[in-house]
Chains A and B, each alone.
Chain A
């Protein structure tokens, strides 16, 4: 595979070309994304920064297959996903992508264990294997003793760790996080970032973190800046 500059990108996992995303707001059309080209290689650690309303979340949602671009091409691991139907998109989300939300989005009536188990259940995996995998994930994230607790019995940091465990339980190759530390104090925020970096380092997961916290953004090896729906800087160190 070759880039526009002719260099070879080994194992490019995400390939966006000419991506637009328009929103109709009454009479007005908002160009949340305008001509975004982006290639991300397998195992990269990317942060996305930029002012509020610059299109960071929209970009992440498109990458996460939760939103369809208005125009452009998105190739995910050799598959043109712009052509997939609804059920195929659901399947691709389940198998390839883990998503961590700013507001956790745990199911309130379920225990931490059940929340982490949910993607495995949806994938039709047998209970014995589910149990083993969830138990291991909770141990790795240091919340094994909270397995039977419901979200309202957990601290914010613990909730986000449950959410990360859920995002990682299907062993996706891509982990996306939209302001994952936005609702956390700095200590738990640091822990959460640390856990995600470990997944990137040790399991080779491709990690993209949207943040407006410069300290968090600076940690990534590749840093993207957005403005008015465009990528205005893309710096690798």
Chain B
């Protein structure tokens, strides 16, 4: 039998049982559609979270005090943890390929201007902060480049703080008070919006040395280092580690690279997408059971036809082939319909509601199609084998 005739024969059977075929295709379509839709939501969330984190550059390492335990969190387990100092930060700036360094302190403080006052998040940082944290100055300028220890009392305001304190007055050059000390306003930051619930504009930036004194801290909370983009992340990290051990005598600090943090995040989010896809897989399973049922019914209903085919000289392989083609066509058609509808829906949401974290997960679409085809073949095999096994006479008598 020619292959084209076998396919035509199977298609003829599909078309002549319109209702039954349509239901099967629908069952698979719903399952595949669910897989594609759910994985697209997973992918959308993944891309959304990444975009949020990538607001900060990727060629960055963070040094925090204390040796990390296995969960990547810094703990005060080492008895002789020395604080991170401004001198450490200055030394790290001299590590080859380091292009920017930000000693960091964070805390809450009250900022006063005249009679107005506002509690904000205070960052003790350095001149390099806008470059390292990927932020821009809207007006004026950022803190000057000067010795970390001798830095003067300048402040730069987040846009929200500026608006709240100054309204339509000019802020640049004004004198404000923070923690009982007077600072001169050098600049105002570009609005950054919110991230994970924090208002990044309700902030004030002052030199780290001033923040250390204000909060009466022994050491820095973190030192952020940016390295040249052409530098290998691991070798840079090793150099930073060596420089720190040289200063502290042993490893009483933890180095986090952005790549590592993103890797962990990526793993978590991929598991999420996979889990969500598995949920869709359950509905796919229902569709598969549907095909199996329908193919079994088809074999039973068409037993006499199978008997006749065998009586007039069809080989077992012909019968097997016809039923397999029938099942895989149904599976593939369902997969195509389901993924087309789901992708259309996802793309439509992307246009109408661009803020929704939904992005087509193309690698899952391809996989879903292959899966639909596989389900067709797999669920077709059992009934097809049964059909091919029939003796022509027994089959004929079924009518």
A binds B: yes
Interface residues of A (CB under 8 A from B): 61, 64, 66-67, 86-87, 90-91, 93-95, 99, 101, 103, 105, 107, 109-110, 118-119, 121-124, 126, 166, 170
Q: Least Cβ distance of A127 to chain B in Å?
A: 8
Q: Is the interface of B mostly helix, strand, loop or mixed?
A: helix
Do A105 and B308 touch (CB < 8 A)?
A: yes
Do B393 and A118 touch (CB < 8 A)?
A: no
Do B315 and A107 touch (CB < 8 A)?
A: no
Measured between beta carbons, the chain A residues less than 8 angstroms from B12 are: 109-110
Do A95 and B313 touch (CB < 8 A)?
A: yes
Measured between beta carbons, the chain B residues less than 8 angstroms from A64 are: 311
**Among residues 1 to 51 in chain B, which have CB atoms less than 8 Å away from a CB atom of chain A?**
1-2, 5, 9, 12-13, 16
Do B310 and A90 touch (CB < 8 A)?
A: yes
Q: Please tell me which one of the listed residues A67, A90, A121, A124 contacts residue B9 in the complex, with CB atoms under 8 A apart.
A: A121
CB closest chain-A residue, reference B310: A90
A66 to B314, CA, bound (A): 12
Q: If the complex has contacts A109-B16, A110-B12, are A122 and B393 also in contact, measured as CB distance less than 8 A? A: no
Do B312 and A119 touch (CB < 8 A)?
A: yes
Do B313 and A124 touch (CB < 8 A)?
A: no
| Chain B residues bordering chain A, tally (CB within 8 A) | 24
Do B1 and A121 touch (CB < 8 A)?
A: yes
Q: If the complex has contacts A87-B316, A91-B315, A109-B12, are A122 and B309 also in contact, measured as CB distance less than 8 A? A: yes
- 8 nearest interchain CB pairs? A94-B313, A109-B16, A93-B313, A90-B315, A105-B308, A121-B5, A87-B315, A66-B392
A122 to B1, CA, bound (A): 5
Kindly list 4 other residue pairs between chains A and B, CB separation below 8 angstroms, not including A86-B316, A105-B308.
A91-B313, A91-B315, A93-B312, A121-B9
Do B312 and A109 touch (CB < 8 A)?
A: no
Do A107 and B311 touch (CB < 8 A)?
A: no
Q: If the complex has contacts A122-B1, A122-B318, are A109 and B313 also in contact, measured as CB distance less than 8 A? A: no
Q: List 10 A-B contacts (CB under 8 A).
A: A61-B393, A66-B396, A67-B393, A90-B314, A90-B315, A105-B396, A110-B12, A118-B309, A166-B312, A170-B313
A78 to B13, CA, bound (A): 39
Do B308 and A107 touch (CB < 8 A)?
A: yes
Measured between beta carbons, the chain A residues less than 8 angstroms from B310 are: 90
Do B313 and A123 touch (CB < 8 A)?
A: yes
**Among residues 82 to 118 in chain B, which have CB atoms less than 8 Å away from a CB atom of chain A?**
none
A103 to B315, CA, bound (A): 23
**Among residues 361 to 384 in chain B, which have CB atoms less than 8 Å away from a CB atom of chain A?**
none
